[in-house]
Amino acid sequence: DTEVTQTPKHLVMGMTNKKSLKCEQHMGHRAMYWYKQKAKKPPELMFVYSYEKLSINESVPSRFSPECPNSSLLNLHLHALQPEDSALYLCASSQDGTVTDTQYFGPGTRLTVL
């Protein structure tokens, strides 16, 4: 089973709202990723958790706050977002976070910030 699930599928929020995106995998993978993808652009890495520790933060603004409660779950907490943050947010997981690992993507959350 190579399934990564993400909820919600769609999210519309105002600039003053606080919301969270959720991601779950049951493949026993120990690395999980958040990517942001704008239309007609490639996925852009935001954060990497390896063995439940934050290993990469790609200088993402603090209005995005990741959390990894356990090896199967990954959250992205959103606060005071801007309209330009509207995008497809993708979660991925891989065996242990090495660059030879295959990353498997979830279906994504389509976020619209009004």
Partner 1 sequence: QKEVEQNSGPLSVPEGAIASLNCTYSDRGSQSFFWYRQYSGKSPELIMFIYSNGDKEDGRFTAQLNKASQYVSLLIRDSQPSDSATYLCAVGRSSASKIIFGSGTRLSIRP
Residue among 58, 56, 50, 46 at smallest CA distance from 93: 50
* Contact with partner 1 (CB under 8 A) among 5, 7, 55, 57: 55
In sequence order, the β-bridge partners of residue 33 are 48, 92
93 binds partner 1 (CB under 8 A): no
Q: Which of 68, 76, 97, 111 binds partner 1 (CB under 8 A)?
A: 97
Task: Pick the piece of the chain touching partner 1 (CB under 8 A) from 15-23, 63-71, 79-87, 91-99.
Answer: 91-99
Q: Are strands 10-13 and 109-113 parallel, antiparallel or unpaired?
A: parallel
Contact flag: residue 42 with partner 1 (CB under 8 A): yes
What are the DSSP E strand ranges found in the chain?
A: 4-7, 10-13, 18-25, 31-37, 44-50, 53-57, 64-70, 73-79, 87-94, 104-105, 109-113
Q: How far is the CB of 4 from partner 1 (least distance, A)?
A: 9
Residues that bind partner 1 (CB under 8 A): 41-43, 45, 48, 55-56, 88, 90, 97-100, 102-108
